[in-house]
Amino acid sequence: MVAPWLIFFFSLFSFTTLSSASSTYEDLLKSAREPEFFTWMRSIRRKIHQHPEIGFEEYKTSELIRYELEALGIDYVWPVAKTGIVASIIGSRENPQFALRADMDAVQELADLEYKSQLDGKMHACGHDAHVAMLLGAANLLQRLKSNLKGTIKLVFQPGEEGYAGANHMLEEGALDDVEAIFCVHVDHTLPTGSISSSAGTLLGSADTFEVVIKGKGGHAAALHRTADPVLAACSAILSLQQLISRETDPLESRIITVGFMKGGEAHNIIPESVTFGGTFRSMDTEGLYILKQRIREVIEAQSAVHRCTATIKFMDNAYPATINDEKLYNLARSVAVSLVGEANVRPFPRLMGAEDFGFFSQRMPAALFTVGVRNESVGSIHTTHSPYFMIDEEVLPVGAAFHAGVALTYLERKVSLF
């Protein structure tokens, strides 16, 4: 039985049926912008926004997606990686198989919206609610072209992007074993609404986190010689970590180590038994990340030993690899973008140290990540992702849906000459 909160406006839209010969990118965008279609996508996005769920807890989100897929007559496999979904639109033949991916999880919201989050401490501050709405919009468009598809389109609704490596879990379960290439869209607060951006090659960095507990011997500040001070050991270790960048990293390579927190005792005159600190480290290439990981461990353990303390270091279970755009798939997607929004609105993407678990997919198969702009000062869509004030201009939804659909259609059409 469908949960009451899931029962909201849904309609089979009365726009002209698209055929293989006439389904130009402009047709896709025009269809996605029709009032009923746009209202449907917006309602999905707002329902998800009101019920944000963190990694591997996306139960209501998953239920909503399954409801919409069933209404569209699209088969799916669930659960994948606990809450994820992989749906399939199979055309005139099963292969080739191309995947479109949307992440589902959330990250308290301060924006005063009529559809603001109803759960304290959680919000969709990275646009994943919009990603799901856009992919469902693409599913609707593609399902109407099902008989003309020259292969299979997989719709990947992924859990746990925000620090949980959900992409890796889906891959480990074999959910995408038959997929030849994958594409995704991410909202971008730096670009005007509807603009599109990406670049070939390494797009986003690799990332890991570390948490350290340094144990010493506590005591009174008046008798320091009877203690083994973990505060001093932690400070020495933190300062030494910075030298891994300034003295051991090629200045032409991009690497970062950041310590984000440090916690110790509570009294002014007492040396604590232990100190905890942690942070993140990043590299534009995955190999550099593992070099940093080894050296971080060595430096912290050595500095702890110098001060007669011991250190326990914990790293992320699944470090995020660099996100690398396959050049051929990038060129294909860019050509679709130009046809959709015009050459002037397609821009190169500046490489960033930010990480995305889409990198796990790019390690396994040709992959491409593009961003679509949501910046619109007139509606207040100006804040960065993960800001408590983050919001999007919902006019981006038709662009994202048409872009997804256009890339998938073009891949299947050109597959023989591509790979």
Q: What is the pLDDT along the chain (419 residues), one digit of tens a residue?
A: 334 333 333 333 333 344 443 358 999 999 999 999 999 999 999 999 888 898 899 999 999 999 999 999 999 999 999 999 999 999 988 999 999 999 998 874 444 545 444 555 556 567 889 999 999 999 999 999 998 899 999 999 999 988 899 999 999 999 999 999 999 999 999 899 999 999 999 999 999 999 999 999 999 999 999 999 999 999 999 999 999 999 999 999 999 999 999 999 999 999 999 999 999 999 999 999 999 999 999 999 999 999 999 999 999 988 999 999 999 999 999 999 999 999 999 999 999 999 999 999 999 999 999 999 998 888 877 667 666 777 889 999 999 999 999 999 999 988 844 44
Runs of H (alpha helix) within 312-392:
327-341, 358-364
> What three-state secondary structure class fits 270?
strand
Instruction: Please check whether residues 84 and 196 belong to one and the same domain.
Output: yes
* Biggest distance spanned by C-alpha atoms of the chain: 85
Instruction: Please check whether residues 116 and 169 belong to one and the same domain.
Output: yes
Distances (CA, A) of 147 to 31, 137, 165, 166, 217: 18, 18, 35, 32, 72
**Domain span holding position 164:** 4-205+323-418
Instruction: Please check whether residues 179 and 231 belong to one and the same domain.
Output: no
Say which residue the tokens 């030494």 belong to.
Answer: 240
Instruction: Please check whether residues 183 and 221 belong to one and the same domain.
Output: no
Query: What tokens were used for 393?
Result: 């201009």
Distances (CA, A) of 28 to 111, 161, 184: 32, 28, 17
Rounded to whole angstroms, how far apart are CA atoms 31 and 22?
12
Tell me which of 295, 315, 335 is where a domain ends: 315
- CATH code of the domain covering residue 248: 3.30.70.360
Instruction: Please check whether residues 156 and 256 belong to one and the same domain.
Output: no
- CATH code of the domain covering residue 359: 3.40.630.10
Tell me which of 297, 315, 333 is where a domain ends: 315
The 8-class DSSP code of residue 18 comes to P
Identify whether 96 is preceded by a cis peptide bond (ω within 30 of 0). Answer: yes
Number of domains in the chain: 2
pLDDT of residue 13: 36
pLDDT digit string (tens) for 10-44? Answer: 333 333 344 443 358 999 999 999 999 999 999 99
Instruction: Please check whether residues 130 and 35 belong to one and the same domain.
Output: yes
Tell me which of 263, 294, 315 is where a domain ends: 315
Instruction: Please check whether residues 257 and 303 belong to one and the same domain.
Output: yes
The residue among 205, 254, 146 whose CA lies nearest residue 353 is 205
Instruction: Please check whether residues 173 and 97 belong to one and the same domain.
Output: yes
Instruction: Please check whether residues 131 and 39 belong to one and the same domain.
Output: yes
Contact (CB, 8 A) for 413 and 36: no
The residue among 217, 240, 368, 377 whose CA lies nearest residue 301 is 240
E-strand ranges in 91-247 read 97-103, 152-158, 181-192, 196-198, 201-204, 206-215, 219-220
Instruction: Please check whether residues 48 and 181 belong to one and the same domain.
Output: yes
pLDDT of residue 175: 94
Instruction: Please check whether residues 80 and 171 belong to one and the same domain.
Output: yes
The pairing of beta strand 181-192 with beta strand 323-325: unpaired
pLDDT digit string (tens) for 182-233? Answer: 999 999 998 999 999 999 999 999 999 999 999 999 999 999 999 999 999 9
Tell me how many degrees the CA angle 185-191-194 measures, rounded to the nearest 5.
60
pLDDT of residue 121: 54
Instruction: Please check whether residues 162 and 303 belong to one and the same domain.
Output: no
Query: What tokens were used for 321?
Result: 């690899």
Say which residue the tokens 């919206």 belong to.
Answer: 113
